[in-house]
Chains A and B, each alone.
Chain A
Amino acid sequence: MPFIPHTEADIAAMLDSIGASSLDALFDEIPVDLNCAGLGGIPPSLSEMAVTRLAHGRAAQDGFYSSFLGAGAYEHHIPAAVWQIVSRGEFYTAYTPYQAEASQGTLQLLYEYQTMMASLTGLDVSNASLYDGATALAEAVLMAVRANKAGVRRVLLPDTVHPRYRAVAQAMVKNQGIELVGVPFDKASGITDLAALEVMAGEAAALVIPQPNFFGALERVDALTDWAHAHAMLAVAVANPLALALLKPPGLWGEGTQTRGADICVGDGQPLGVPLSSGGPYFGFMTARQALVRQMPGRMVGRTVDLDGKPGFVLTLQAREQHIRRAKATSNICSNQGLLVTAATIHMALLGPEGLKNVALSSHANTRALIDKLVSLLGVERVFSSPFFHEAVIRVNIPVPDVLRALRAQGILGGYALGRDYPELADCILVCATETKTEDDLEQYRQQLERILSRRNGRDPSVPPCAYK
């Protein structure tokens, strides 16, 4: 059976029908020097059996670890039913709806997804998803700049936002003349420094507000949202959707009766039923206030009625997409991560609001228990004083790479070394314990770390132990 849509005979028949001699003749207006001579570096084909063996071998190299590594992608339990249902032929097809209205089931699912995300974030409208959290942030920056009537092309982006998100946003907006300005964090609390923000106010189209931030710490989102609005900026939330099952939704951020909440919320949907898979694919989400819907990129599904009054679903607000507006389109993102959104929708439907909240609560409880255990060790201390969700930063008194390597040798991924992104935190590790960890897992981590530290500290008496332990 051919797995490609056009057989040689089909192609010959079509060429014959339009009077072209060959496929190459159809493309003869492309200059010859632009023509790629063929793909280099592609190895010869393998049989299915050989490919399976190769893939199993590669997968085994990953090993099996007890993971306390988060930093933007999180290990969560995914009910077996989720991917069983996703794999059904009706869902397991195109990543974004083409001939959209012929696929009523796909559109209904996306509509349900949008409803769930709007509800989770406390905002009016959701799109049908974006590529990932980082590109979703970049799209939110572009959206805030489009919405700024005064033409301000500057956005405040705190240093506590995920470093990779900041790099991606920078790559996507810098050539469009948009300036991203960093905001320092308070060294004691690990959250955005409001005093520093006050000094650097100036003109900006938006303030980005992470919740929780990259250090796992909870930002003062109400104060930051109000500050943004008081300075004629939009408040753009970058949130972990799981944390929102527990925390105040961005649509309600701000204090007082005048607040309208965050204006846009984006984030990575991976914690909602998407496996880690060596880094992707994940999906990004974006929700916003109704007033901004026409600045929103991506596909949106709406519910309507047909001529007979029967309910149905349509792709809506397409008039500003690139197939109609070309270069003037709202955004060149007209796509979505259909399959991953399908998984997330089923995941959320299976867990329900209470189930999601329980996952968030046990992740928080496990991380608290782990941090309490670890900081009881000689040579380990907590770095930031702010409350955290399911990640926190510890400082160790021997080199971080040595600690992580030694833990790894014992089958434990101990966390994320912060020195790469924050040189001043070179002796710090970002640690995460989700609901997947048991009391025994936490105790294993503590014991192994204690052994590693005591061995190293014992051998080298010049290293001072952390005080008061």
Chain B
Amino acid sequence: MSIPADLKYTKTHEWARLEADGHVSVGITHHAQELLGDMVFVENPTVGRNLAAGEECAVVESVKAASDVYAPIAGEVTAANGSLESAPESINKDPYAAWMFKLKPSNSAELDGLMNATSYAAHVESEAH
């Protein structure tokens, strides 16, 4: 299972990456896409929407289930990855390249409250039992 060391993680299996411009990209983890199986549809939040940390804001739909995606931190949606509409399988191919949406954080310090790769690996491990 792939868990890059440079990302932050949530208990609900989203990853967050602080980009050079101060915005935060969000996607779902390798583990999450493995559980869901083949992706068939992604529904992203609209640009401009203000999200609270932990707010339901997107849906990923696989052949098995439709699952909610939660905002890892609070912020305003500044971009949604339109290429996922026609190619949702990118999430299966490379979940850490297939970002879903970008946030302008209300408070980037909130990132420090998320899990690092080591804690996330332990979290995944604990959920397996």
Which of A319, A324, A328 is close to B68, meaning CB atoms less than 8 Å apart? A328
Select from chain B the residue with minimum beta-carbon distance to A325. B66
In the complex, chain A residues whose CB is within 8 Å of the CB of B43:
294
Q: Are A324 and B46 in contact (CB under 8 A)?
A: no
Interface string of A140-176 (1 = CB under 8 A from B): 0000000001000000000000000000000000000
Q: Are A149 and B46 in contact (CB under 8 A)?
A: yes
- Counting CB contacts under 8 A, is A320 at the interface? yes
Q: Are A320 and B61 in contact (CB under 8 A)?
A: yes
Dominant secondary structure of chain B at its interface with chain A: strand
> In the complex, how many residues of chain A place their beta carbon closer than 8 angstroms to a beta carbon of chain B?
7
In the complex, chain A residues whose CB is within 8 Å of the CB of B65:
319, 324-325
Residues of A within 8 A of B (CB): 149, 294, 319-320, 324-325, 328
- Counting CB contacts under 8 A, is B109 at the interface? no
* B20-72 contacts to A (CB < 8 Å): 40-41, 43, 46, 61-66, 68
Inter-chain CB contacts under 8 Å: number: 19
> In the complex, how many residues of chain B place their beta carbon closer than 8 angstroms to a beta carbon of chain A?
11
Q: Are A319 and B63 in contact (CB under 8 A)?
A: yes
CA distance A319 to B46 in the complex (A): 22
- Best-buried of A149, A294, A319, A328 by chain B (most CB within 10 Å): A319
In the complex, chain B residues whose CB is within 8 Å of the CB of A320:
61, 66
What are 6 contact pairs spanning A and B, CB under 8 A?
A149-B46, A319-B40, A324-B65, A324-B66, A325-B65, A325-B66
Interchain nearest-CB distance for B76 vs A (Å): 15
In the complex, chain B residues whose CB is within 8 Å of the CB of A328:
68
Select from chain A the residue with minimum beta-carbon distance to B68. A328
In the complex, chain A residues whose CB is within 8 Å of the CB of B61:
294, 319-320
Interchain nearest-CB distance for A152 vs B (Å): 13
Which of A149, A294, A324 is close to B41, meaning CB atoms less than 8 Å apart? A294
CA distance A325 to B68 in the complex (A): 10
In the complex, chain B residues whose CB is within 8 Å of the CB of A149:
46
In the complex, chain A residues whose CB is within 8 Å of the CB of B40:
319
Select from chain B the residue with minimum beta-carbon distance to A324. B65
Pairs A-B, 6 closest by C-beta atoms: A319-B66, A320-B66, A319-B61, A149-B46, A324-B65, A319-B65
